[in-house]
Structure 1
């Protein structure tokens, strides 16, 4: 089978978790595409059908605390894997390092770069936290299962490192540009993003985040890492489509030629 030239042979566990991961993420992306948005960021009050009484009973946290918290367990999963799985294996070392670096960056951005107004529901935070933590932990564990197996015929570690570094750099740069658009505080003042790839797509930070996860996949070369990257791609395509639709509804002058996430295509 041609696919096995790129992947370690999957076990039943890896196949089942891969299917579950892709299905969950792809379904979430389809929901975003259809307008059922996860309620955080600019979508925190969009499409919510809960009554004021119900909303007042929902536990919330300041957005900065919530966002930093939801990335922390995935970061800890990456860091703790160095002690839990100390195998001397370059591929495993690269994957553990990439996961740890990515989520540490997200924690730092949440604390020091992003601008917030409002709060995030604890339920939403826990949903996202669980997704990142479980997926990162399973990606690490499936890599552990692959240690000692014959290497795939085609080694993708080097392009994986290049994709990861490109993705994490581009993601940070566009997050920095977004942070310059708004003042922190109770008055939400959204503007049309400018600079970088914002002239081509409304969510270049999502595009580069996708590259990060495909970097994980090429470094790892397990079925789960590929399924997770594909699922993340589907989710962020849906999220970016919803974001573009939001900008079109808020700004009459929003350029029609700007795509959602992939320049000139989508």
Structure 2
């Protein structure tokens, strides 16, 4: 009886699992991998980009000195461009008249196109990126984008959830996109022309959390999940929240170690909480 009630509750919010072994296996595998990387970030084992590209211990630094490094701008383009291409290609390879699939493809493609646009015209870079880290993150973005769209396509023939959340998902996605870009612009204004060092960012929600751009990126992924209403999108959104939560925790710890005047009331990711 309890199992039946639980399944009825799930069917109200999610499509059934699609008839695809690949999607069902990757729902678990990709989500667990991203979540584990997030816990590693919180423990101090960082993917080598941004301010963390050279903060490992001396043994790791010695190893990293032998690794291929590329400019941060090029590395960031490597992160996002394959996902843009996956989203754009889906319009060609998976043409359909299903509104939910169209909304999801459009949202994913726009999100990563925006990230490439920011890399080229908004962000300021001064460091390097270890190419291994760039490839890991790029593969994650590419595979999650492709699989999210594929899972949605596979769900077209399945019973729709009784509660339709896609309109709420669109609103959540738009809030996330706007908030993310706004705080990226504020971050870019932290450095004056010619400066390369880090400063404590100000404005927007930076006065209460050090990573509002991550908070809004998590919002974007839950927008995807609400538009999609597939288990893959939902679990990947949770995994992304864990990863960016670990990244935010490490970021706050880094700022505290670098700036004696860092305000202690500023949290990592969730205002007044974490």
Which 5+ residue runs of structure 1 have no aligned equivalent? none
1:62-211 to 2 correspondence within 5 Å?
62-183=71-192, 188-211=196-219
What is the alpha-carbon distance in structure 1 between the residues aligned to residue 73 and residue 60 of structure 2? 25
What is the alpha-carbon distance in structure 2 between the residues aligned to residue 26 and residue 182 of structure 1? 32
What is the alpha-carbon distance in structure 2 between the residues aligned to residue 179 and residue 242 of structure 1? 20
Contact preservation (8 Å) 1:213, 1:229:
yes
What is the alpha-carbon distance in structure 2 between the residues aligned to residue 57 and residue 17 of structure 1? 33
1:30-49 to 2 correspondence within 5 Å?
30-49=39-58
What is the alpha-carbon distance in structure 2 between the residues aligned to residue 163 and residue 25 of structure 1? 22
Residue-by-residue CA offset, 1:18-69 (whole Å, 9 max, x unaligned): 1112211111111011111111100111114447764443212111111012
Contact preservation (8 Å) 2:214, 2:248:
yes
State the SS of the aligned residue for 2:96: coil
Contact preservation (8 Å) 1:117, 1:184:
no
- Structure 1 23/51 Cα, relative in aligned 2: closer, same or farther at 3 Å? closer
1:182 CA displacement? 1.9
Which 5+ residue runs of structure 2 have no aligned equivalent? 1-6
Q: 1:10 aligns with which of 17, 20, 32?
A: 17
What corresponds to 1:225 in structure 2? 233
- Structure 1 52/22 Cα, relative in aligned 2: closer, same or farther at 3 Å? closer
1:128 CA displacement? 0.8
1:235 CA displacement? 0.4
What is the alpha-carbon distance in structure 2 between the residues aligned to residue 152 and residue 237 of structure 1? 29
State the SS of the aligned residue for 2:70: strand
